[in-house]
């Protein structure tokens, strides 16, 4: 019997592990096939809320924020590309980090239109796959159109500053819940899984949740 499952996915466009985690989660749901009818709801988190409008070079940003050398950064990026490829996400060469607040505003609006997940996927591809400036309104509108949204309405949301308060309130809500890193995935409003886990880990977690819900041992 197919069971409904709410999945709250707290993440940032700028987070490569969020791209891996979302792709991995979707593979796990495909493997579960008819066991679960999942609703994925995207929530905002900003890794770099103070990032200026011009952004910052990746190498300089990671060196300053984490104290990493260029060699360490290259090694990590190679590992991330490999992990992405294993779950069907293609990372490109990205040299710049951008502010993501407007992207979160657009995602909030897309949720009201029932097209949030396709927009999230389009934004992750634009940022991590194509190295595009996702603080640019033109890039954001292009992603909205690719996700099946009205480009004129998307541009209006961006230009009018819509949903800024709602995004900040959501960010504060999840910070107050103790979310300090992303991706953070909450299943059934009760179970927290963090990080870009492998599909097998997500599948096991979901089976465990469904089994506990039904008072049975996991399959």
Tell me phi and psi for residue 8, to 5 degrees: -95, 120
Q: How far apart are CA 76 and CA 142, in angstroms?
A: 30
Q: How far apart are CA 86 and CA 123, in angstroms?
A: 20
Number of H helices, E strands in the chain: 9, 6
**Token output for 125:** 């591809």
**Token output for 20:** 């891996």
| Mean pLDDT score across all residues of the chain | 95
Q: Are 16 and 91 in contact (CB under 8 A)?
A: yes
Q: How far apart are CA 137 and CA 70, in angstroms?
A: 31
Could you read off the pLDDT of 134-180 as tens digits, one per residue?
999 999 999 999 999 999 999 999 999 999 999 999 999 999 999 99
Q: Are 210 and 35 in contact (CB under 8 A)?
A: yes
pLDDT of residue 216: 63
pLDDT of 204 over the 60 cut: yes
Q: How confident is the model at residue 215 (pLDDT cuts 50, 70, 90)?
A: confident
Q: How confident is the model at residue 33 (pLDDT cuts 50, 70, 90)?
A: confident
| DSSP 8-state assignment for residue 34 | G
Q: Catalogue all structural domains in the chain, each as residue range(s) with its CATH number.
A: 20-183 (3.40.30.10)
Could you read off the pLDDT of 53-83 as tens digits, one per residue?
899 999 999 999 889 999 999 999 999 999 9
Nearest Cα residue to 150 out of 97, 216, 106, 198: 106
pLDDT of residue 217: 52
């Amino acid at each position: 019997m197919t069971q409904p499952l709410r999945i709250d996915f707290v993440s940032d466009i700028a987070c490569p592990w969020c791209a891996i985690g979302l792709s991995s989660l979707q593979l796990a749901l495909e493997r579960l096939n008819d066991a679960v009818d999942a609703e994925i709801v995207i929530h905002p988190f900003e890794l770099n809320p103070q990032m200026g409008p011009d952004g910052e070079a990746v190498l300089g940003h990671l060196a300053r924020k984490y104290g990493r050398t260029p060699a360490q950064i290259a090694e990590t990026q190679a590992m991330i590309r490999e992990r992405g490829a294993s779950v069907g996400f293609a990372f490109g060469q990205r040299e710049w980090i951008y502010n993501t607040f407007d992207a979160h505003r657009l995602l909030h609006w897309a949720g009201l239109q029932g097209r949030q997940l396709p927009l999230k996927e389009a934004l992750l591809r634009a940022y991590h796959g194509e190295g595009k400036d996702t603080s640019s309104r033109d890039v954001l509108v292009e992603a909205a159109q690719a996700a099946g949204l009205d480009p004129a309405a998307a541009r209006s949301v961006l230009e009018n500053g819509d949903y800024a308060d709602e995004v900040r309130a959501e960010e504060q809500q999840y910070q107050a819940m103790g979310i300090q890193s992303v991706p953070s995935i909450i299943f059934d409003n009760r179970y927290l899984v963090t990080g870009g886990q492998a599909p097998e880990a997500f599948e096991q977690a979901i089976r465990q949740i469904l089994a506990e819900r039904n008072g049975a041992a996991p399959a």
